[in-house]
A and B are shown apart, each in its own frame.
Chain A
Amino acid sequence: MIEWTGAIVQGVLLGGLYALFAAGLSLIFGVMRLVNIAHGDLIILAAYMGLTTTVMLGVHPFLALLIVMPLMAGLGYALQRGVLNQTLGDDILPPLLVTFGLSVIIQNALLEFYTADPRKLPGGAVETASLDLGGITVGVLPLLTFGIAVAVIAGLQFVFYRTSLGRGFRAVSDNQDIAQLMGLNKAHVFGLAMALALAVVAIAGILLGMRTSFDPAIGGGRLIFGFEAVIIGGLGNLWGTLAGGVILGVAQTLGAKIDPGYQILAGHIAFLIVLAVRPNGLFPRVEH
């Protein structure tokens, strides 16, 4: 019994990481109806940027965030204004194709620079530290990851509903034409949204890199987990995205408990069940 409880707790904590994968995806889709196929590869890119920073400066991956986050945010703004804004319009196909192309480019660039060898961020003692919670042993790093995920979601929620930047996001999301007539520069607001999303991607990438080894090809899988968390939780609901990540994480660890080969499959099955029963997700945002 305690083993199963343990698996559930591990799953919940793993869900925090998935929620971090998903938060940026959810934000971008919410603000500009852009489905970013390159999202997973951007997570891996952030992990490699973290690797280079830790190796070159000899700092802990958490400190590397101070460099990787602004870099990713800047990249996001430039990417949005330079490329992605041109693809947005009534047709949803161009942004899909362009971000797919971007995904291929990032993967191959990473392959060129870093080779296909699996790498890992050296987290040091925090990687192996654990706490004993009444018979269940919990890793400090997963616990920290979950805490960061909650903090990030709460932070995004605050930005969205309590700041003028967030009002700008919501106004543009609600009606782009009117928002422009109200003095909002759509291209700039979209740029800021992508910058914020990629800052979250930087956090997700660093935490991923400390947790497991990564190579240039695994971005696609992270994208799928992110998508599944967003859709399970319900589009447009950030706390729902966290719940979606947790459900996906728990399904995976329980699957792995039955048979290690079932881990990924169990997650997909949980996703399919939610999609069949509640196509709008479990907690869709109430709309007008």
Chain B
Amino acid sequence: MTALLSISGLQKSFGAVVVADATSFDVSEGEAVGIIGPNGAGKTSLFNLITGTLKADGGRIGFGGADVTTNSAAARCKAGIARSFQIPQPFGGMTVFENALVGATQGAGLSGHEAEAHALSVLEETGLLAKANARAGTLTLLERKRLELTRALSAKPKLLLLDEIAGGLTDAECHSLIDTIRGIHARGTTIIWIEHVVHALLAVVERLIVIDFGKKIAEGEPKAIMESAEVKEIYLGVDPDA
């Protein structure tokens, strides 16, 4: 398999705070990768660097074989990178359908009926079809999370970045969301997922990356990683030498 996303030696700091410290990893086409780490480890910053909201201080981001390190956020979206936000940020004054249409026309480059058909199919997949004409600002939390997913999918991404999409949901809501994400992955969309709700993450991803202080400290098979000493230390405060 070829690497869809290839990150090497990525460097970013805000003053003394390092959010990416020589971070390197590859994500293959069709893979689902989870990223965990404590708060402030640099997970969301990593997404901002990948999508182009933040400019890297150094290192290289390759996507689909091309170097996109200096490309604008809009260009990266058109190339096939889309993300959902931890705190849902819909276009609140527009309807759910229009939110999806923006991605379909601008991100995916569709027009007219094709764009509308694509927006509708995404809404159906994410379970928001019944709310298509509701104003995005009026949605509940679960619906907003689903709208985040909708907005990202409407741009027809090759690489979907999910930022704590399961956070704050009830168990039942979480399960239905996992089913949706599994469906998206099964269609061949590559996924990178940041999540604190570990059981949700483990239900989908094939590989885990652990980040702390902007550094990648572990990477591998999810079960093994969760059992590892580094992760236990970070998450449970267990001293590995004790």
Chain A residues in the interface with B (C-beta under 8 A): 164, 167-168, 170-171, 173-175, 177-186, 287-288
Contacts and interface: CB of A to CB of B under 8 A. Distances in A.
A174 B138 CA distance: 15
B103 interface: yes
A174 B92 CA distance: 7
A288 B82 CA distance: 25
B53 A288 contact: no
Contact of B107 (A173, A175, A182, A287): A182
Interface residues on B, range: 20 to 34
A56 to B, nearest CB: 40
Contacts of A168: 102, 105-106
Contacts, number: 81
Contacts of A164: 101, 105-106, 111, 115
Interface string B118-152: 00000000000000000101100000000000010
Nearest to B151: A182
A183 B77 contact: yes
Given A171-B102, A288-B137, A183 B107 contact: yes
| Secondary structure type dominating chain A contacts | helix
A182 B102 contact: yes
Contacts of B103: 182-183
A175 B91 contact: yes
A140 B72 CA distance: 51
B176 interface: no
A27 to B, nearest CB: 15
Given A164-B115, A167-B94, A181 B53 contact: yes
A241 B78 CA distance: 36
Contacts of A288: 92-93, 135, 137-138
A234 to B, nearest CB: 15
22 contacts: A164-B101, A167-B98, A168-B102, A170-B94, A171-B91, A171-B102, A174-B91, A179-B91, A181-B51, A182-B102, A182-B106, A182-B107, A183-B77, A184-B74, A185-B72, A185-B74, A186-B74, A287-B93, A288-B92, A288-B93, A288-B135, A288-B137
B133 to A, nearest CB: 13
Contact of A182 (B52, B77, B92): B77
A183 B78 contact: yes
